[in-house]
């Protein structure tokens, strides 16, 4: 009656000697003490968790094989249990691989000066001169990009202006221009935006488009001043030293990812601002 028997042999269920239970119990107690003790020692890295999990698994096996008697069970119960364990291992293993070893998505810094130069040079001298064509092109671009904040007449009173602080620039006023009112100065503002204010950079527009915008804005000004010669020269130099850079798509995507990661918050605000500047235009221009 006490000797191990296989299932299906009458009523001879496997009956373990009581001694086995006590031995397993002692093993479990000892392992618990060991695992608590090892938690006070720093093995460095992820060794502590690894040791703790190995000990826990040995304990689990003791419970499963002897207390639960899986060691003496038939094939189907073993398959049921160990297959589940295998699926759990896949579940845990793949998740861990993803969480702990995912390819680092921190974007690579791109040095713009290493990018291939575009074949189309930008002729700053030509673009810096206002022509009626450019002004009318600028007017269109203004309606698409600027009117919601700066207003239809450029007085800084567009529908979105009420919510902004500081208020958008009134182009008709002659005082308080951060970068100045000359061609190169306004170009700088359009290209870079004004950090710390709701004015976003419009570097996404081509230089031609930005110059067109500059000329339209200046056409609204009373007595637009001539550009500071030095500023214009430096702008010219900027484009000649680094002729218009055209980003390959892969590089551009890296830059975008970098931008997004660098400042999630700022990016959101920026997106809001750009959104208000472009998305609301439809109803304004109609």
Partner 1 sequence: MSHHTSGHGGHAFAHHFESAEQEFETSKFGMWLFLVTEIMLFGGLFVAYIIFRGMYPEMFVEAHHHLDKVMGGVNTLVLICSSLTMALAIGMVQRNNNKKASMYLVATLLFAAMFLVIKYFEYSHKFHDGLLPGAHFDAAKNGIQHPKADLFFSIYFLMTGLHGVHVLIGMGLIGWMLKRTMSNEFSSQYFFPVELVGLYWHLVDLIWIYLFPLLYLIG
Residues of the shown chain interacting with partner 1 in the complex, contacts defined by CB under 8 A: 1, 7-8, 10-11, 13, 15-16, 18, 21-22, 24-25, 28-29, 32, 35-36, 39, 42, 48-49, 52-53, 55-56, 59-60, 63-64, 66-68, 73-74, 76-77, 80-81, 84-85, 87-88, 91-92, 95-96, 99-100
For 83-144, give the secondary structure using H, E and C.
Answer: HHHHHHHHHHHHHHHHHHHCCCCCCCCCCHHHCCECCCCCCHHHHCCCCHHHHHHHHHHHHH
As measured in angstroms, the least distance from the Cβ of 7 to partner 1 is: 6
State the minimum distance, in angstroms, from the CB of residue 71 to partner 1: 13
Q: From the CB of 103, what's the least distance to partner 1, in Å?
A: 14
CA dihedral 64, 69, 73, 78 (to 10 degrees): 0
Distance of alpha carbon 72 from alpha carbon 78, whole angstroms? 9
Residue 34 beta carbon to partner 1: minimum distance, rounded to whole angstroms: 11
| Residue number with CB closer to partner 1 (85 or 246) | 85
Nearer to partner 1 (CB atom), residue 104 or residue 175:
104
C-beta of residue 187 within 8 angstroms of C-beta of residue 214: yes
Q: Write b or e for each residue in 240-263: b if 16 or more Cβ atoms lie within 10 A of its Cβ, otherwise e.
A: eeeeeeebeeebeebbeeeeeeee
Which residue lies nearer to partner 1 by CB, 68 or 242? 68
Cβ atoms < 10 Å from Cβ of 44: 7
> Helices 207-220 and 132-145: crossing angle, nearest 10°?
90
> Which CB sits closer to partner 1, 53 or 173?
53
Q: Which is nearer to partner 1, 15 or 242 (CB)?
A: 15
Instruction: Name the residue nearer to partner 1 (CB basis): 46 or 240.
Output: 46
CB of 43 to partner 1, least distance (A): 10
Give me the least distance between CB of 72 and partner 1, in Å please: 11
């Amino acid at each position: 009656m006490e000797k191990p028997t296989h299932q299906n042999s009458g009523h001879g269920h496997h009956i373990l000697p009581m001694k086995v239970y006590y031995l397993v119990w002692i093993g479990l107690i000892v392992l618990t003490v060991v695992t608590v003790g090892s938690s006070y020692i720093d093995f460095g890295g992820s060794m502590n968790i690894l040791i703790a999990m190995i000990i826990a698994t040995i304990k689990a096996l003791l419970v499963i094989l002897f207390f639960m008697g899986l060691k003496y069970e038939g094939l189907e119960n073993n398959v049921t249990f160990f297959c589940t364990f295998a699926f759990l291992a896949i579940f845990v293993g793949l998740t861990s691989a993803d969480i702990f070893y995912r390819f680092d998505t921190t974007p690579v810094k791109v040095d713009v000066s290493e990018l291939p130069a575009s074949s189309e040079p930008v002729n700053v001298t030509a673009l810096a001169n206002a022509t009626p064509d450019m002004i009318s092109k600028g007017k269109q671009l203004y309606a698409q990009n600027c009117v919601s904040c700066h207003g239809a007449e450029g007085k800084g009173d567009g529908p979105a202006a009420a919510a902004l602080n500081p208020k958008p620039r009134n182009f008709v006023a002659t005082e308080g221009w951060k970068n100045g009112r000359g061609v190169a100065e306004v170009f700088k503002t359009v290209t870079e935006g004004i950090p710390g204010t709701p004015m976003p950079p419009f570097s996404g527009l081509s230089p031609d488009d930005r110059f067109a915008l500059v000329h339209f804005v200046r056409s609204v000004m009373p007595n637009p001043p001539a550009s500071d010669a030095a500023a214009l020269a430096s702008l010219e130099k900027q484009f000649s030293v680094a002729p218009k850079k055209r980003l390959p798509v892969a590089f551009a995507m890296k830059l975008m990812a970098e931008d997004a990661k660098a400042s999630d918050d700022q990016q959101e605000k920026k997106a809001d601002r750009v959104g208000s500047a472009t998305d609301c235009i439809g109803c304004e221009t109609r």
